Structure 1
Amino acid sequence: MVTRERGALASVVFTVLFAQVLLYPGAADVVASFGATDTETASRWFLAAEFGAFVAFAGVWGVASDRAGRRVPFIVAGALAGSLGYAALALADVSFGAVLALRVAQGAATIGAFSLAMTMLMDLSDDHGKDMGAAGIAIGSGTALGAPVGGQLTELDPRAPLAAGAVVLAVAAALAVRIPDRAPDGHGDPLRRGLRTLADRPALGVPYAFGFIDRFTAGFFALVGTLYFRNAFGLDAGAVGLTLGLFFAPFALLQYPFGRLSDRVGRTAPIAAGSATYGLAVLGVGLAPHLRVAQGGMVVVGVLGALMAPATMALVTDLAADSERGVAMAGFNAAGSLGFLAGIVGGGWVAEQHDYLTAFLVAGGAELALALLALPALVRLDPDA
């Protein structure tokens, strides 16, 4: 029963990520279809608008779920509202400012389905590494398949990924309806008190910091990586999607075994080993003299990300009280969304103002610096304390 529920919840996480990543390879084409002239800047804000909404609304969904003692109705509502948001964007004939407003509304809905599906995996069992490994393989698989499929759809029509996203999120809602709700009893605390949970548990800042680092890379490659492979190597949207898949495929396939590994050896070793070399691997992609070398570097980044990600998410589960899981995972996803925003906006700005090599130097250096700052706190942390 637990195995079947784990697979169903992972499928919900997969569908949400798949819909999201469909847009990445052809983001410049999508914004051009809305009349944007500076497609690099416009695509940066188009992606950032969604993640800004993720940051703003993840905690609201988490507290509401913890307070009600239910997950499934919120996941269904978020997925259906997100589906409507994607459909509205696919059909929109409005100014680009209105498009960004729609994008914010769509993101505010979608994060509820995503974050609470991951929270339901937290509720599932005491094998936190295995449960978060299932979440990780769903995240990685959704992004691995979403990138190449989105690239191919973009070549058919720039807005085809939006229409596909609407369909996929409706499927996520249908999947969620059939999953048993194992949420702990609701606590009835108001929103402000629920959000203070994060301030009351400063130890959660450790996995949040590593979650920020992990998603920073995803955001950086979603925009800067897409433009880099297009402009530096002359790839079209389809080929860019396949190249991004070289990162996301090992990131997906290795999450479950690495998550189980963290149940056996603890969270510290996988997180520390991955973070110590992650920034160097990112930098190596930017320094690659040839396309094949850069593509090989993408595989290495994917492997290191897979080593860290499930252990980091499992650490959140280790530290959170039963009645705080929704808001704790929401905080993790908010930190990750901030990382993604920093990767998109910061990385895109550096690339625009300077060049791609400088952007990769800044990104790799920032990864290394953040990892070095967070590692001592990780080593001191005892999840059972």
Structure 2
Amino acid sequence: MSRTERARLAAVVFVVLFTQLLVYPGVDRLVETLGGAPTIDAGTAFLGVQLLAFVLFSAVWGAVSDRAGRRVPFIVLGAIGGTASYLALIAAVVLGVGDFRLALVLRFVEGAFTIGAFSLAITMLMDLDGGHGKNMGAAGIAIGLGAALGAPIGGQLYEISALAPLVASASLLALVAVLVATLPDRTPTDTDDLRRILDGLRHRPELLLPFGFGFADRFTGGFFGIVGTFYFRDSFGLSPGETGLALACFFAPFALLQYPFGSLSDRIGRVVPIVAGSVGYGLAIIGVALAPTFLSAAVVLVIAGVLGALIAPATMALVTDMAGPGERGAAMGGFNIFGSLGFLGGILVGGGIASRFGFFEAFAVAAALEIGIVLVALPVLVRVVPDPTSTFGTPE
């Protein structure tokens, strides 16, 4: 297996997350430019509609790819479709065509395409040898770096123009299409058809464990994306550029520690990183809301990022452990459905609670969910993995 393949696939994952996070720090300004009101509700709608598309199309891309026995053409198609959607958003503003409703439709279309590139790039990483934790660590560090750099760079791009993040997103996704087009397709040849895959997943209820943890973790990601942005802007008077740097306090350690923590889970198993990380992460979330100053909030965000990095690669590796080679596309599609539902829930629920009850209440709900999933899932997790240091498959 070529290290170049792993790096190029990780680059796809990076670009999709990077472009997604570019718009967050100044989403109120972008929404206003697209014809909406610069409110938390309009921002929630714009961010949420993309996640809705993620939910609806994630498993579709995975199942179709498994059935076709190909990954690369679908990744290229997803990247090209995302590029076209971003360009259409820009054209709508420049030409004065449509209103905010058209922007929401185009954002949905963009999400439907880019989730294909994102999900299938992770699936191709699952297909590689070299150790499940290591491969998922590569995916995790790409996710974390995309989010870590997307927020601060997006904030700086907003200082140039409200449309600058969209221009950057279109350009990068076009580059991804070129980058991936020449990759060898290493899709397993023994993939099942869609009916057998779904039957197999129904007979693997243990997959609900990593799916549930993925839901909770992505919930907090969506939560920080919308609530964190408005919280730092309103509570500490930060500009979009400064807000992007604040979000990077979480995403930078989250990114840098993904790969080593993924490799760690190959050695010590998935249970301890997932359980310990989730409990600590939930406590850190509420700690952000209790921090009296921006500096103290930033320190807690760094701690939260470290704990989040402990959870994410172990959770994705657990999906790989449990799914057979011919089921991985559908399994990762299912994982991304739960994850996208979590991200969407974090945006909708977090934004709704913050706008109607207050920021502290929203942080409390996010923290309770992260800790609560451990309390509910731990008894089942212990039964499924009686030895906390074991994995379902040996590193390849």
- What range describes the TM-score normalised by the shorter chain of this pair? over 0.9
In the TM superposition, residue 244 of structure 1 has moved relative to its aligned partner by: 0.4
Match of 2:163 among 155, 159, 164: 159
In the TM superposition, residue 105 of structure 1 has moved relative to its aligned partner by: 0.8
Q: Partner of 1:24: helix, strand, or coil?
A: coil
Structure 2 counterpart of 1:50, one-letter code: Q
Q: Distance in 2 between matches of 1:48 and 1:246?
A: 23
Structure 1 counterpart of 2:46, one-letter code: F
Q: Distance in 1 between matches of 2:225 and 2:156?
A: 16
Counting only pairs closer than 5 Å after superposition, residues 239-258 of structure 1 correspond to structure 2 as: 239-258=242-261
Q: Distance in 1 between matches of 2:364 and 2:161?
A: 34
Counting only pairs closer than 5 Å after superposition, residues 59-74 of structure 1 correspond to structure 2 as: 59-74=59-74
- Count matched residues: 384
Q: Which residue of 2 aligns with 1:122?
A: 126
Match of 2:341 among 328, 338, 341: 338
Check the 8 A contact 1:198/1:331 in 2, yes or no: no
In the TM superposition, residue 177 of structure 1 has moved relative to its aligned partner by: 1.1
Match of 2:308 among 299, 305, 308: 305
Farther off after superposition, 350-359 or 368-377: 368-377
Check the 8 A contact 2:83/2:170 in 1, yes or no: yes
Counting only pairs closer than 5 Å after superposition, residues 173-188 of structure 1 correspond to structure 2 as: 173-185=177-189, 187=191
Structure 2 counterpart of 1:242, one-letter code: L
Counting only pairs closer than 5 Å after superposition, residues 113-152 of structure 1 correspond to structure 2 as: 113-152=117-156
Q: Distance in 1 between matches of 2:243 and 2:201?
A: 38
Q: Distance in 1 between matches of 2:23 and 2:216?
A: 22
TM-score normalised by L of structure 1: 0.97
Check the 8 A contact 2:54/2:112 in 1, yes or no: yes
Structure 1 counterpart of 2:344, one-letter code: L
> Is 1:354 the equivalent of 2:357?
yes
> Is 1:80 the equivalent of 2:80?
yes
Q: Distance in 2 between matches of 1:254 and 1:187?
A: 33
Q: Which residue of 2 aligns with 1:33?
A: 33
Check the 8 A contact 1:15/1:172 in 2, yes or no: yes
Check the 8 A contact 1:63/1:327 in 2, yes or no: yes
List 4+ stretches of structure 1 deviating above 6 A.
Answer: none
In the TM superposition, residue 21 of structure 1 has moved relative to its aligned partner by: 0.9
Q: Distance in 2 between matches of 1:158 and 1:195?
A: 43
Q: Distance in 1 between matches of 2:20 and 2:212?
A: 23
- 1:133-161 residue CA offsets vs partner (Å, 9 max, x unmatched): 00000000011111111011112111111
Check the 8 A contact 1:83/1:165 in 2, yes or no: yes
Structure 2 counterpart of 1:286, one-letter code: A
Q: 1:188 to 1:210 in 2, by over 3 A?
A: closer
In the TM superposition, residue 178 of structure 1 has moved relative to its aligned partner by: 2.2
Q: Distance in 2 between matches of 1:257 and 1:74?
A: 30
Q: 1:195 to 1:48 in 2, by over 3 A?
A: farther
Q: Distance in 2 between matches of 1:371 and 1:173?
A: 39
Check the 8 A contact 2:250/2:305 in 1, yes or no: yes
State the Cα RMSD in Å.
1.4
Question: Structure 2: where are the runs of 5+ without partners?
Answer: 386-390
Q: Which residue of 2 aligns with 1:365?
A: 368
> Is 1:11 the equivalent of 2:41?
no
Q: Distance in 1 between matches of 2:91 and 2:298?
A: 35
Match of 1:107 among 101, 107, 111: 111
Check the 8 A contact 2:279/2:370 in 1, yes or no: no
Q: Partner of 1:214: helix, strand, or coil?
A: helix
> Is 1:56 the equivalent of 2:60?
no
Q: Distance in 1 between matches of 2:27 and 2:121?
A: 26
Q: Which residue of 2 aligns with 1:21?
A: 21
Q: Distance in 2 between matches of 1:342 and 1:332?
A: 15
Q: Distance in 1 between matches of 2:166 and 2:23?
A: 7
Check the 8 A contact 1:137/1:255 in 2, yes or no: yes
Check the 8 A contact 2:133/2:266 in 1, yes or no: yes
- 1:22-50 residue CA offsets vs partner (Å, 9 max, x unmatched): 11111111101012125211110100000
TM-score normalised by L of structure 2: 0.94
Match of 1:278 among 274, 277, 281: 281
Check the 8 A contact 1:70/1:186 in 2, yes or no: no
Q: Which residue of 2 aligns with 1:216?
A: 219
Structure 2 counterpart of 1:384, one-letter code: F
Q: Distance in 2 between matches of 1:369 and 1:142?
A: 28
Q: Distance in 2 between matches of 1:145 and 1:11?
A: 13
Q: Partner of 2:162: helix, strand, or coil?
A: coil
Identical pairs, percent: 57
Check the 8 A contact 2:52/2:341 in 1, yes or no: yes
Q: Distance in 1 between matches of 2:126 and 2:331?
A: 10
Q: 1:196 to 1:235 in 2, by over 3 A?
A: farther
In the TM superposition, residue 364 of structure 1 has moved relative to its aligned partner by: 1.0
Q: Which residue of 1 aligns with 2:388?
A: none
Check the 8 A contact 1:68/1:185 in 2, yes or no: no
Q: Distance in 2 between matches of 1:38 and 1:25?
A: 13
In the TM superposition, residue 202 of structure 1 has moved relative to its aligned partner by: 1.0
Q: Distance in 1 between matches of 2:272 and 2:216?
A: 17
Q: 1:186 to 1:74 in 2, by over 3 A?
A: farther
Question: Structure 1: where are the runs of 5+ without partners?
Answer: none
- 1:288-335 residue CA offsets vs partner (Å, 9 max, x unmatched): 101001111110111001001000000000011111111111111111
